[in-house]
Amino acid sequence: MSISKKIHKFIEEGGWIRKMFESGIILKEQYGSENVFDLSLGNPVIEPPQEFHEALLKLASNPRPGMHRYMPNAGYQNTRDVIANSIAKESKVNLTGNNIIMTCGAAAALNVTLKTILDPKEEVIILSPFFVEYEYYIDNHGGKPVIVPTNPDFSLNMDDIEKSITSRTRAIIINSPNNPTGVVYNEKTYQDLSEIFIKKQKEHNRTIYIISDEPYRKIVFGSTVCPHWFNYYDNSIIVHSHAKDLALPGERIGYIAVSPHSAETSLLIDGLTFSNRILGFVNAPALMQNLVEHLQSTVVDPQIYETKMNFLYSELTEMGYQITKPQGAFYLFPKSPIKDDAVFTEELLAEKVLVVPGRGFGSPGHFRISYCVEDSVIEGSLQGFKKVSEKYHMI
Ligand SMILES: Cc1ncc(COP(=O)(O)O)c(C=O)c1O
């Protein structure tokens, strides 16, 4: 075989989103794209805020000498300072630009972090349902994913998490607002989880990191707020991205923020900076770093997503679908009315509605809907959802 057995296996096993994407292309060719309702991808349809275009124009018309050159691997100091100030203001934690490493989005930030902290076969706890790529990222750096299912309402099962911590645990990855469920963890969750990890660090006499993957932090609904890990747990690492909050997924810009109270902070930052370099990212895109420096208090309007969510949630629950109501992000994770979520998504596919089976996220028996799409796609999908719900007598 001309590619590694491992990658071949991963391609075969892990292709649910890709499979849906490919089915979508075929269906769109066959029936026309306006007749196919693709709710399978987390690719926001909303355009970046006006402030982004203004900052881009301003920069392009006043180019700074040297602005396309290499830079320190952690990124521009100015950008890092502005980000640190913004987090410090919100969290009331004393943070400087030296605690920030600019990255090519959250995906790079997670890989850089795992590369830096993992020795071979060390364990990283992930909570199902989880973002599909976590298992691969952990494997990339020789680690071992330990999957702990969440409760039926997707809250964290603290007992199970505690039981899963061993003398080889190096980290847990937390994601709130969550992809695929839209759930946001409250302060009590932060407190309880921190207590467990503080206790377990002592018991095993080792550093265990809480890696908080937060690309949806600013996409929350109503009065929902996301607490800051830095206020609860010293060995916390925040991963952020502007893929969703500024609708810039193709531009690959994000960052890592390290708690100023973490063990051996400067060694950790040196390690992260080095990993950013040797993983081949070298540094995050210069142009984007220059722009996001001016956009830390700018965000796409979360109300747009909230309106889409409320509409879809009420239509689907009326049809009998069982859904935990999201408080953020732009996904719904309903229960599949039949045990086999793959069969169920095939049924929806036959109605030209594309969603992803829950098993792709480590939680069979569910399916994921991405509603970061045009209203016409959401509205058009309802007929298919209804037809399938009637088939299974869901009311
Ligand atoms: C939970 C989660 N983490 C990380 C990422 C990767 O984000 P980025 O595009 O910034 O690499 C995504 C993207 O969808 C995500 O949903």
**Where does 5-48+300-391 sit in CATH, by number?**
3.90.1150.10
Q: What is the pLDDT of residues 226-284, one digit of tens each?
A: 999 999 999 999 999 999 999 999 999 999 999 999 989 999 999 999 999 999 999 99
pTM: 0.96
pLDDT digits (tens, 9 = 90+) for 177-234: 999 999 999 999 999 999 999 999 999 999 999 999 999 999 999 999 999 999 999 9
List the one residue out of 141, 112, 108, 109 whose CA is nearest residue 124.
141
Q: Verify whether ligand 1 is closer than 6 Å to residue 111 (CB atom).
A: no
Ligand 1 near 106 CB (within 6 A): yes
Residue 380 Cβ contacting ligand 1 at under 6 Å: no
In short, whether 251's Cβ falls inside 6 Å of ligand 1 is no
Residue 202 CA to ligand 1 center (angstroms) comes to 32
Q: Is the CB of 180 under 6 A from ligand 1?
A: no
233 Cβ closer than 6 Å to some ligand 1 atom: no
Among 179, 292, 369, residue to substitute to test ligand 1 (most atoms within 8 Å of Cβ): 179
Spelled out in words, what is the top-level CATH class assigned to the domain 64-292?
alpha beta
Q: How far is the CA of 133 from the centre of ligand 1 (A)?
A: 9
**pLDDT tens-digit map of 39-72:** 998 889 999 999 999 999 999 999 999 999 999 9
Compute how many other C-beta atoms are within 10 angstroms of the C-beta atom of residue 112: 27
Where along the chain do its domains lie? Answer: 5-48+300-391, 64-292
Characterize the bridge pairing of strands 367-370 and 37-38: unpaired
